[in-house]
Amino acid sequence: MWTMQLLVAAVLVVVVGVAALVLQRRRRVDPPTQQRWQVPAQLDRADFAGATGEWLVVTFTSEACMTCADVRRKAAVLASRDVSIFDAEYTAHRTLHERYRIEAVPTLVIADREGVVKASFLGPVSATDLWAACAEARDPGSSPEPDLGHQHHDS
């Protein structure tokens, strides 16, 4: 008799333990996915009106973004005969955001005559880093930090 009761108690303990384990696993929350924002590797310069300079700096921005205004101002200072600046503000240039799959603003890219993106920044950027990245793109080896503006992604 005792063995039967002991066996029933042991089975109940195992069933309760398995049920608790299943419930615990169901409640476990997966960590949030980590978004890896991408910047375009190539631009079609014909998409950007007035892109006549040897270099093209494009800021993908939004009017609702305070950081975007700061990045736009810093990029504007780079304008010269050799550097064309284009601000692709979201509401005015939504098709450009879609074409280049811009999902985060501000996104800034520095492209050469062929539209190859040589440097880029996601989010805020200091004027010093932006100017150094532009100088390095235009004249490799001219910056003490040649990796500025180069996105490093884990494979």
CATH no. for residue 98?
3.40.30.10
Task: Establish if 8 belongs to a structural domain.
Answer: no
- What type of residue is 53? G
pLDDT of residue 153: 38
Task: Establish if 122 belongs to a structural domain.
Answer: yes
pLDDT of residue 37: 74
| Residue 124 preceded by cis peptide, ω within 30 | no
* Domain extent for 133: 45-138
Neighbours of 109 (CB within 10 A): 26
Q: pTM, whole model, 2 decimals? A: 0.72
Task: Establish if 68 belongs to a structural domain.
Answer: yes
Task: Establish if 88 belongs to a structural domain.
Answer: yes
Count of domains for the chain: 1
Task: Establish if 155 belongs to a structural domain.
Answer: no
- Which DSSP symbol is given to 55? E
Specify which of 4-8, 19-23, 29-33, 46-50 reaches the highest per-range mean pLDDT: 46-50
Q: What is the DSSP string of 127-154?
A: HHHHHHHHHHHHSTT-SS-TTTT-----
- Which DSSP symbol is given to 90? T
For the cut 80, the answer to whether the pLDDT of residue 17 exceeds it is no
For the cut 60, the answer to whether the pLDDT of residue 155 exceeds it is no
Q: What is the dihedral of CA 39, 43, 46, 49, to 10 degrees?
A: 40
Predicted confidence (pLDDT) per residue in 80-93, tens digit: 999 999 999 999 99
Predicted confidence (pLDDT) per residue in 92-149, tens digit: 999 999 999 999 999 999 999 999 999 999 999 999 999 999 888 888 887 666 566 6
Predicted confidence (pLDDT) per residue in 18-44, tens digit: 666 666 666 656 666 656 678 999 999
Task: Establish if 112 belongs to a structural domain.
Answer: yes
Task: Establish if 79 belongs to a structural domain.
Answer: yes
Query: Is 105:62 a contact under the CB 8 Å cutoff?
Result: yes
Instruction: Work out the angle at residue 121's Cα, subtended by the Cα atoms of residues 45 and 93, and round it to the nearest 5 degrees.
Output: 45
